[in-house]
Amino acid sequence: MTDGPNGKRAFDESLLEMVRGAEADFLAGKRGRYGDVEGAVRIFLEILRGFEFMQVDRPCVTIFGSARFREGHKYYEQAREMGRTLGEAGFCVMTGGGPGIMEAANRGCKEAGGLSIGANIHLPNEQRPNPYIDRFMEFEHFFVRKVIMVKYSSAFVVCPGGFGTLDEIFETLVLMQTDKIDDFPVVALGADFWAPMIDFFQSRMVAEGTITPADIDMIRITDSIDEAMVQILSSPDARPSGA
């Protein structure tokens, strides 16, 4: 404990010295000497890098989906068409930057001449940058990556995926449900994949009172790219200049 103004000043100066040392180690690529302080500095610097990375000149739509679908699969081709349509409409398309659905969406956007962004994550398997990205950043922390993807998005498209995709879209819906972020358009592309989930929401969660019917309305399920675009453009925040 430090009592009095002199004790507090000594503590603040000591903490500042630790932060500066941790930051210097981090920037120099050295193994840290400062434990939790270094961890906090690494997270803070990664957030700042993300803020700088996402300085773009147009509204951004984030597309979530599995890394495991390959070219020719119906979900890959659907995501590619979604990305192309968004690019043609003047949107930036952001994905997790990896293969599968992410590659497809970035690919479609790039083919349309749009701005294609990848917010990648360092993983032991599956996650490598796809070749259709104009701007790319690799994150160390999942939660920092999600902060950046949510903060800079004007709408969200969720394509079929696994645990990671569900984590991303459910966290986004919770932030909207609890008024931590504004209500943005959320489209679930792939009706056959998502319909059983919505049935579960209605038959179990609404029935048990854990969510309300209005909560389900936050997400629109469709197989139509045109319908998805109508939903996305329904928000003034998600309209490119001239749209």
Which residues partner with 135 through β-bridges?
A: 117
The first and second tokens of residue 225, run together, are 């790219």
Tell me the CB-side half-sphere exposure of residue 159, using CA atoms within 13 A.
30
pLDDT score for 112: 97
pLDDT score for 38: 72
The DSSP result for 101-115, as a single string, is HHHHHHHHHHHTT-E
Residue among 238, 209, 223 nearest 94 (CA)? 238
pLDDT score for 163: 95
Query: What CA–CA distances, in Å, run from 158 to 11, 66, 186?
Result: 47, 10, 8
The first and second tokens of residue 196, run together, are 């059983």
Sign of the dihedral defined by the CA atoms of residues 140, 100, 150, 197, in that order: negative
pLDDT score for 140: 85
Question: Could you read off the pLDDT tens digit of each residue along the chain, which spans 243 residues?
Answer: 445 555 556 645 654 565 566 666 655 655 555 566 777 778 888 898 999 889 898 999 999 999 999 999 999 999 999 999 999 999 999 999 999 999 999 999 999 999 999 998 876 665 678 999 999 998 988 899 999 999 999 999 999 999 999 999 999 999 999 999 999 999 999 999 999 999 999 999 999 999 999 999 999 999 999 999 999 998 877 667 655
The one-character DSSP state at 204 is I
To the question of domain 55-238 being in CATH 3.40.50.450, the answer is: yes
The one-character DSSP state at 162 is -
Q: Where in the chain is the domain with CATH 3.40.50.450?
A: 55-238
Alpha-carbon gap, residue 186 to 166, rounded angstroms:
13
Alpha-carbon gap, residue 111 to 116, rounded angstroms:
10
